[in-house]
Amino acid sequence: MENSLSVNIGGLLLQNPVMTASGTFGFGREFESLVDLNRLGAVIVKGLAREPSPGNPPPRIVETPCGLLNAIGLENIGIEAFIKDKLPFLAPYASAVIVNVYGQTPEAYAAVAQRCEGADGDGIDGLEVNISCPNVKAGGVSFGVAPEAAAEVVCAVREKTTKPLIVKLTPNVTDVTGIAEAVVAAGADAVSLINTLAGMAIDINSRRPKLGNITGGLSGPAIKPVALRMVWEAARAVDVPVIGVGGISTAEDALEFIIAGAAAVQIGTANFTNPGVTMEVIDGIRSFLSREAIGHITELIGTLSTK
């Protein structure tokens, strides 16, 4: 495990800091022939709830300048089907497996976390609690915009899990540091940010929204500067590892987040445009460290100079 790229994310040891963002990499198998699943830091699987759910009516995606607006609506197979049908494929790979969890109530989140504690959940290395999806009415983002509600969910999950616990934050707030501090106080081992920015697009001819859900979440290169700013703010506010997410499509993008204070990164929309992107980012980070004569990635984290 020890190499120039290894990182420790709140007790979760990763062979490198490159993860796949939830909802952009399925359950790993979809990318089996496109990516070496043994080389990723972690695979964060599609968000899972206690029960399966169908997701939003189509159209679910629309491209906007340098970005992707989606309203998938957390279509999910449920934690039980994941553990039975998906985990046995993914668990043997060297990449860590992180389950992204969502629910309608704190208890529903906790139930998913508890289910992951079973012997058949051994292959699950950590949890990422999603309190930031903008596309479902109940649950999701309603917990992520108020410190007290966010803390309540995290406390409920913390009680039921022994695994490293990451909390994924929404950018759709005035001050992300207050939310970050609240979830860390409630027991989060790390925070990841940002989830998508709430947005919409309109067809002027039909005067109808371009998404079935009317509004959606914006991802892709368009949101990278916003994500970078929020990661920088969060990294200065909390003393747990921060995971940078938002518009990363090259090693240079990932390095910007690491310099801003991210201990690891997640790659999302870029998996759609360039399925092999994660391998390129890992190789590019390694080359950069070598070129800059940096012995270990941790020496680069949070080294932004503002003088």
Q: How far is the CB of 119 from other proteins (least distance, A)?
A: 27
User: Would you count residue 66 as binding other proteins (CB under 8 A)?
Assistant: yes
Binding marks (x or -) toward other proteins, 235..274, rule CB under 8 A?
----------------------------------x-xxxx
Q: Which of 4, 8, 11, 34 is close enough to bind other proteins by CB under 8 A? A: 34
Binding marks (x or -) toward other proteins, 75..104, rule CB under 8 A?
x-----------------------------
Tokens representing 245 are 């997410």
Q: How far is the CB of 30 from other proteins (least distance, A)?
A: 4
Q: On the CB side of 51, how many CA atoms lie within 13 Å of its CA?
A: 7
User: Would you count residue 221 as binding other proteins (CB under 8 A)?
Assistant: yes
CB atoms within 10 A of CB 53: 17
Residue 87, φ and ψ in degrees, nearest 5: -60, -40
Name, in order, each residue with C-beta under 8 angstroms of 276's C-beta and a sequence gap of 6 or more: 34, 35
Q: Which of 5, 31, 128, 258 is close enough to bind other proteins by CB under 8 A? A: 31
Q: How far is residue 201's CA from residue 188's CA, in Å, rounded to a whole number?
A: 35
Q: How far is the CB of 32 from other proteins (least distance, A)?
A: 9
CB atoms within 10 A of CB 66: 12
Q: Tell me, by CB under 8 A, how many residues bind other proteins.
A: 37
* Residue among 43, 54, 130, 51 at smallest CA distance from 89: 43
Is the peptide bond preceding residue 59 cis, with omega within 30 degrees of 0? yes
CB atoms within 10 A of CB 273: 11
Q: Which is nearer to other proteins, 29 or 185 (CB)?
A: 29
Q: Which of 84, 276, 290, 299 is close enough to bind other proteins by CB under 8 A? A: 276
User: Would you count residue 143 as binding other proteins (CB under 8 A)?
Assistant: no
133 counts as catalytic: yes
247 close to 3: Cβ distance less than 8 angstroms: no
* Residue among 137, 133, 153 at smallest CA distance from 196: 133
Which span sits near other proteins by CB under 8 A: 19-27, 186-194, 258-266, 296-304? 19-27
Which span sits near other proteins by CB under 8 A: 69-77, 122-130, 174-182, 286-294? 69-77
Q: Which of 2, 33, 92, 119 is close enough to bind other proteins by CB under 8 A? A: 33
* Residue among 161, 130, 162, 160 at smallest CA distance from 23: 130
* Residue among 242, 281, 247 at smallest CA distance from 264: 242
User: Would you count residue 123 as binding other proteins (CB under 8 A)?
Assistant: no
Binding-site ranges for other proteins (CB under 8 A): 23-26, 30-31, 33-34, 46, 52-63, 65-68, 70, 72, 75, 220-221, 269, 271-276
